[in-house]
Structure 1
Amino acid sequence: MSREFEIRPAVADDASAISALILSLQPYLTIEPDGSGAEEFLASLSPDIIRRNLQDENYCYRLAFDGEALAGVVAVRSNSHLFSLYVGSPWHGQGVGRRLWELARDGALARGNPGNFTVNSSTFAEAMYRHLGFTATGPLAEMHGIRFIPMRLDL
């Protein structure tokens, strides 16, 4: 990574910033560019839902900051499912996603994960996940206005 990013655990007060970052990436995530058909998925990205997740011990979130700007977010659910890995467009290709993934992976391993992870990758992020070692476990799927590839990593 060419820059230093501050990475820290997320707290409930970060919910609005996390929501805004992920929603800024909506055209990469939904089948229709305007998000039509993906209302249920987009609603799951509201600050209230994210705040609830942040307060649930089943989720572990970390954030990357470039100065005051939120550059990326990672969340692992149930210590094995990569629930969220989003990097804001200005920081794509700068290693933020890899760094967040490595911290999330190492944290899950330290909490007892035996080395097995799953993710539902957007088609946009598939190449990155393959680069990180994930492999597809099924065909391209469509649900709630999004397309995704179920993937798995066994260390």
Structure 2
Amino acid sequence: MRVEAATVSDAEAISALIVELSEPFFLSPSREGAQPFLASVSAEAERGYLSSASFSYYVAKSGGSLAGFIALRDNSHLFHLFVAKAFQGKHLASQLWGVAKTEALRDGNPGEFTVNSSLSAVPVYERFGFVRQGEVQRMHGISFQPMSLRSGQNGA
């Protein structure tokens, strides 16, 4: 599957995919307290990120539909990585990470990355070479595990 730079026209599909896959992030089934998170992944917010020089987005599409995407903030923070259910387990996350990491290194990143991983995605990031940093965080109605990848660690 081909991975390419995303455009602002991808914002709706990106937001929809995040919302579809975000249920495991919430601290409460009612999504209580998660309004800041949900606002941060709205189509409007995604359009803003896609328009900003601080973000790099890459998408993979199948038959014109979004199969997955990745976004880096400030060329070092893995901001988003989502793969549609139909494409999970097919190495698309690895392919997206490979493209984003290669581009970041090409753009001057020294091989140091961070991510706030959903708890269910920790094993994926560990396969990429990320290591857990500190305790699980709970804020804005969601939980996540801070992780980092440094030069010389597996995958960098």
What band does the TM-score fall into relative to the shorter chain?
over 0.9
Q: 2:3 aligns with which of 3, 7, 25?
A: 7
The 5-angstrom pairing of residues 6-155 of structure 1 reads: 6-155=2-151
Does the 8 Å CA contact 1:26/1:35 hold for their aligned counterparts? no
The number of residues matched between the two structures is 151
Query: By how many angstroms is 1:80 displaced?
Result: 0.4
Residue 117 of structure 1 deviates from its aligned partner by: 0.2
> In the TM superposition, what is the alpha-carbon distance from 1:6 to its structure 2 partner?
2.4
**Structure 1 range deviating more: 24-33 or 11-20:** 24-33
Change (3 A) 1:33 1:95: farther
Contact 2:3 2:99 in 1 (8 A): no
Q: Deviations over 1:131-152 (max 9, x none)?
A: 1100011111101011111000
**TM-score, with structure 2 as normaliser:** 0.93
Deviation >6 Å, runs of 4+: none
RMSD: 1.0
Question: Which stretches in structure 1 are left out of the alignment for 5+ residues?
Answer: none
Name the TM-score, length of structure 1 as normaliser: 0.94
Determine what percentage of the aligned residue pairs are the same residue. Answer: 42
What letter is aligned with 1:12? V
One-letter code of the match for 1:29? Answer: F
